[in-house]
Amino acid sequence: MTDLPTLATARLTLRQRVPDDAGALFATMADADAMRWWSCAPFDSVDALRAWFAGGPCAWAVTRTGEDRAIGFVSVGWRRAGVGEIGYLFARETWGCGIAREAVSAVIAHLFADGARRLFADSDPDNAGSIRLLRRLGFTLEGRLRGEWETHIGVRDSLIFGLLRDEWRP
């Protein structure tokens, strides 16, 4: 596992996600509505989520400044030198509060400052909230992969959004 630096924003601290964050995030990741657009089904136990966190991609746990309870996470998976895929999931209590935008922006700024040249994200075509966030962050829709994911809700298309370092406007 790669060590991730701690990042800070006006309201948030982003630290390396650890398996023990499963307890705080289980309610969200067991929620069928919150997990609807995720590539796997909702988790049925804290232990299963803890194991997934232990073997999953590098991720920052997002906490409110001064607290250590995770309210979401932002992950990055490196596809090749300078090119990474970002993903994120946040507790329902944070939806509509700008928390996701603040946290994902901090990660993007860090990744570009650290040498990334391109970031991308994939989103289900019906995931309006994620698509809205990606567009607000400056991502461009680059294409649609038909029948890309076989998920717990069926075979789904994937929209690919990309952002180049030169396009980033924090």
Per-residue pLDDT of 123-142, as tens digits, reads 999 999 999 999 999 999 99
Average pLDDT on 32-55 reads: 92
Dist CA 81 CA 116 (whole Å): 8
- In the sheet that holds 118-123, the strands lie side by side as 7-8, 12-16, 58-64, 70-80, 83-90, 118-123, 154-164, 140-151
Residue 2 clears pLDDT 70, i.e. is over it: no
pLDDT digits (tens, 9 = 90+) for 80-122: 999 999 999 999 999 999 999 999 999 999 999 999 999 999 9
Q: Flag the least confident range among 25-34, 52-61, 153-162.
A: 52-61
pLDDT at 57: 80
82 CB-side CA count, 13 A: 5
Q: Mean pLDDT across the chain, nearest whole number?
A: 94
Q: Model's pTM, two decimal places? A: 0.94
pLDDT at 1: 46
